[in-house]
Structure 1
Amino acid sequence: MILRLNRLLTKIALASSVTLTLLTSGIHSSLAGDPFRNSDPRNIGDKTEAAFDQLFKQGNYKAAQEYAIQATQSEPHEPLAYAMRASLAYTNKDMEGLKNYAASTIEVARKLSDQDPLRGNLYLAVGYFLEGGYIFQTEGPVSALPRLQKVFQYLETAEKVNPDDPELNLLKGYLELMLSVNLPFSSPQQAIERLETYAAPNFLAYRGIALAYRDLKEYDKALQFIKEALQETPDNPELQYLTGQILRSKGRKEKNVDDLKQALDYYNLAFKKEDQLPEVVLKSLRYEHRKVQTEISELGGTTPKP
């Protein structure tokens, strides 16, 4: 369970306190932008913003890496920059990088907590989660559990500052979603409500809701929300891949060749930007791409050329 939480929550945690001018349509133009809040917006550096844009909106890991390196050099007081570098190190199986940038995230977040208790404590939670990911990989799950306890501790402290804060609810929504998948007698409904009502930016909230409905096997609802996300980030190969996954699951359940062919179309779209994606994503994409072609043939359909 901890490993699955680490893989997804690490990435989503980094979405906290992010700014995307393109998504805010010029709101708060005097700052770097804040897609979460209409009041009391936070400001981050341009390089950090660019790294987030490439990683989460464009799905371009290589460009995100370059901007994240620049961000930690020119914007050393922004914890999101270090958190992104830690996450990218994890994706690249660089355990020492994960360890070092997780520690930097914690250090910078602790300093920030005096002037901004919500963001500071939120990033302390992120930093300890990243550190827990390193310990899980090097020492095992039992040793990582104390870090997970710290994650909940700092999230609770942040929630006391403002329980309705959009970035806080984005992070907690994804955490609740993953817990509901891994724990018995737990439902993702609370995560769905939190993400739909309070979380932002929209495309990340919609993505989370789509994941929840996918796990509930309510594929029509999952498609509704993933397509909402794609309207805001139409060129993101990861979202194209996720759309293909949902269509494939729906097609297999209903033995519907048309859905399977649409899934293949979305996989092919994602492949057009394979140079942006890390190997861990490409490995899964290649496997599912092969499988869906077999499934189309087994149902008597003709596999279209990419």
Structure 2
Amino acid sequence: MPLQPSSWKRMVPMVVGTVAIVIGLWTNLAFAKDPFRTSNPHPISANTEAAFRAVFELGNYPEAGRVLQQPDANEPLSYALKAAIAFLSVDTKALRNNDPVALKNLDDFKLNGTQTREVAEKLLATDPLRGNLYLAVGHFLEGAYAITSLGTVAGLPTALSKLELVQKYLGQAEAINRNDPELSLIKGYMDLLLAVNLPFSNPDDAIARLTQYAAPRYLAYRGIAIAYRDLKQFDKALDAVNQTLKDNPNNPEVLYLKAQIFYQQGNYPQALALFDQALTKKDQLPPGVVRTLTRERDKTARKLAQSAPQPSPTPTATPQPSPQ
């Protein structure tokens, strides 16, 4: 069944965010050069590692952007992260009015998405699994650009052709090692997005892949929490996001996710507290994320006010007749 325009558009920020999440796995290199695998580690540049720490230990996108002003020319993850930051900075309303800043962010998204694919092509010779994996990511980013720049109707043919290539290269990566932790994380996220956006799709296989093979665990749990949130299985979503918060207690995006789950559960006091906690770090987040977070926070405050018990009216005293 073909992916509908609205579904593709909903997938874009999540999959771009997934790319950023995968990049964030490359932390704590003092103990292991490859947190995905216990053998055959893959090296990465110090600049890219610093950007990963900024995004996923602190949730600090501006700092990551500063670090990545000079990306690693041989690492597709560097360009994928730059693409993620650019995409999350695009103001779609301003884009419709040809705002220069919005146009520049969109151009940066296109450039870095293409560079993700081009660097991945070079990586095929030395690391075919990761080369194919990030070829898939690069083609997805280029499809997302088509939808964002042209609109869902005009951009859909390009996006669907890119989606076919995404599936092709993911399949080639799977043929090398289906249970690879890095592959399992990215494909698990993509499969979950398809499952929650397409009718008659079953997310169980994607959740099982994240549960069994994806690493590290806090990022696998984050994806599972998103899936259960969208499937409206809120108790399971809270269990998963709490596992993520054990390792990311101050990440504003994870606090935001937990707030969304509480909101959908109808727990407005807890949701409002977490929205406010996430907003204390709003300077670390892309402007578009802050706008959405603020809008959801204000909606929660209104819901909470509406659900508050109203005071009973004070009974009016019955006037007594005057003595004669």
TM (normalized to structure 2)?
Answer: 0.84
Superposition map of 1:82-161 within 5 A: 82-93=79-90, 94-139=105-150, 140-161=155-176
Deviation at 1:18, TM superposition (A): 5.5
Supply the AA of the counterpart residue of 2:111.
Answer: N
Deviation at 1:49, TM superposition (A): 1.2
1:217 matched residue in structure 2: 232
**Does structure 1 residue 76 correspond to structure 2 residue 82?**
no
Deviation at 1:269, TM superposition (A): 0.8
CA distance in 1, matches of 2:309, 2:73: 55
Structure (1 or 2) with the larger CA radius of gyration: 2
> Please, which of 206, 209, 213 is the counterpart of residue 194 of structure 1?
209
2:278 matched residue in structure 1: 270
CA distance in 2, matches of 1:18, 1:61: 12
CA distance in 2, matches of 1:197, 1:225: 14
Deviation at 1:280, TM superposition (A): 1.3
Deviation at 1:56, TM superposition (A): 2.9
Supply the AA of the counterpart residue of 1:184.
Answer: P
Deviation at 1:301, TM superposition (A): 5.9
2:47 matched residue in structure 1: 47
Give structure 1 regions of 4+ aligned residues with deviation exceeding 2 angstroms.
13-22
Superposition map of 1:199-210 within 5 A: 199-210=214-225
Change (3 A) 1:293 1:17: closer
Supply the AA of the counterpart residue of 2:17.
Answer: K
CA distance in 1, matches of 2:25, 2:254: 20
After superposition, the CA RMSD in angstroms is: 1.7
2:181 matched residue in structure 1: 166
Change (3 A) 1:179 1:126: same
Deviation at 1:58, TM superposition (A): 2.0
Change (3 A) 1:160 1:223: same
CA distance in 1, matches of 2:113, 2:15: 14
> SS of the counterpart of 2:221?
helix
Matched-pair contact (CA < 8 Å) for 2:23–2:81: no
> SS of the counterpart of 2:143?
helix
Change (3 A) 1:17 1:299: closer
Deviation at 1:92, TM superposition (A): 2.1
2:315 matched residue in structure 1: none
> Please, which of 7, 11, 21 is the counterpart of residue 5 of structure 1?
11
Change (3 A) 1:187 1:199: same
TM (normalized to structure 1)?
Answer: 0.89
Deviation at 1:13, TM superposition (A): 2.5
Supply the AA of the counterpart residue of 2:214.
Answer: A
Q: Aligned residues, how many? A: 286
Structure 1: gaps spanning 5 or more residues: 252-258
- Range that drifts further, 178-187 or 129-138: 129-138
Q: Deviation string for 1:129-160 (max 9, x for gaps)?
A: 11111122234112221111111111110111
Change (3 A) 1:206 1:300: same
CA distance in 1, matches of 2:146, 2:12: 11
Deviation at 1:40, TM superposition (A): 1.1
Matched-pair contact (CA < 8 Å) for 1:15–1:167: no
Q: Deviation string for 1:53-97 (max 9, x for gaps)?
A: 222332111111111223x1xx21111111111221222222211
- Range that drifts further, 155-164 or 293-302: 293-302
Deviation at 1:14, TM superposition (A): 3.8
CA distance in 2, matches of 1:90, 1:160: 31
